[in-house]
Amino acid sequence: MPDLPSPTQVAVPAFVILVLVEMLISWRVDPSRYEPKDTLTSMMLGTGSTVAGALTGASVFALSLWIAQYQLFDIGFVWWAWPLCFLLDDLAYYVFHRSAHRVRWFWASHVIHHSSQHYNLSTALRQTWTGFISVSFIFRLPLFFIFPPEMVFFCAGLNLVYQFWIHTEAIGRFPRWIEAVMNTPSHHRVHHATNPRYLDKNYAGTFIIWDRMFGTFEAERDEDRPRYGIIKNLGSFNLIWAAIHEWVGIAKDVFTVRGLRNKLGYMFGPPGWSHDGSRDTSDTIKARWREDSQGEKEESRQPDGAATP
């Protein structure tokens, strides 16, 4: 078994240098791209995430070793297993990430990463503290039936490192053939945007092909510049609140509402689901936006601005 380093730990010095470089670019181009308190919050959430990972990582690794006893194949560390493992891990990431936006239980943990209204390299470091509680590691478990756990964790680390540099507004778009296959800053800006058109799109980790295959791809448009954050932005730089606010919301809803069906809805329904329909989900926001856009188009077709009959 090869002695594999942690890709994220190796990449930390590059992360620091690239954040500094991006800050200097922002200073010259658009100083509003960074905000010191937001940067501090993002990076402290990242630090907290590594602590949480260190506390719970051994359990996940032990689980992976247990599953590996039942491996379907004895692939080992043969060279071709590495790219295959990376590709399948990226597919597992897509499934995890889509679930993390569509199921409130997983969203409660993932929302931390989206809770900044900025989109810069420090946002990439805004990572969850509660991934273990939300059991988000389950999406990767099938891989341990095929590949050695060390290989899977290494590929997952590489995937995470890849996703760092795409959190930037400093890079526009790449040539078409790259944008067709790879997840890029442009594609990931769409993912972080709250514009109705962009909600629940571009879940990819490294390869955007999954979104294209499964119908969740949306291209960035110059006329609809991404606005970042979440539907109900925090309005606070409090670290603890950023880390746990959705869990608090789930707990309040579950204890307040009556009926098992409603309680389960608040836990496992889509974010924004409510038993009385009083809140917005991404689907209701999109529907209202489509209706509104259609109304505007029809109004603009009237030469004198008269209402459409």
Partner 1 sequence: MNWVVLAGSIAAVLILAGFAWLLKLGATPQIESEEAAARLARDAHSGFRPIDIALGRDGRAALLLGENGDIVLLRPHGAQIAARVFRAAPPITRAGGELKIATGERMFGDVALQLDEAEAARWAARWENQGGESADA
The string of DSSP codes covering 226-239 is: --BS-SS------H
What the block records as the tokens of 11 is: 């990449």
Counting residues that bind partner 1 (by CB under 8 A) gives: 48
Among 1, 2, 261, 278, binds partner 1 (CB under 8 A): 278
What the block records as the tokens of 96 is: 């995890």
Stretch that binds partner 1, among 76-84, 92-100, 156-164, 285-293 (CB under 8 A): 285-293
Q: Does 40 bind partner 1 (CB under 8 A)?
A: yes
- The residue type found at 213 is M
Site for partner 1, residues 208 to 247, rule: CB under 8 A: 227, 229, 232-238, 241, 245
60-73 burial string, b = 16+ CB within 10 Å, else e?
A: beeebeeebeeeee
In the complex, least distance from residue 159 CB atom to partner 1, rounded to whole angstroms? 20
Q: Does 201 bind partner 1 (CB under 8 A)?
A: no
Question: Please, which residue, 198 or 203, has the CB nearer to partner 1?
Answer: 198
∠ Cα 9 126 263 (to 5°): 125
Radius of gyration of the chain measured on its C-alpha atoms: 21
In the complex, least distance from residue 119 CB atom to partner 1, rounded to whole angstroms? 11
Cα separation of 288 and 276, whole Å? 18
In the complex, least distance from residue 116 CB atom to partner 1, rounded to whole angstroms? 9
Contact 106, 268 (CB under 8 A): no
Cα separation of 49 and 66, whole Å? 25
Q: How far is CA 183 from CA 29, 175, 200, in A?
A: 24, 12, 15
Q: What is the largest CA-CA distance in the chain?
A: 75
Q: Does 288 bind partner 1 (CB under 8 A)?
A: yes
Spell out, one character per residue from 119 to 138, where the chain touches partner 1: x when CB under 8 A holds, - when not: ---x----------------
Q: Does 8 bind partner 1 (CB under 8 A)?
A: no
Which residues would be at the binding site for partner 1 (CB under 8 A)? 12, 16, 19-20, 23-24, 26-27, 31-40, 43-44, 46-47, 50-51, 54, 117-118, 122, 194-196, 227, 229, 232-238, 241, 245, 278, 285, 288-289, 291-292
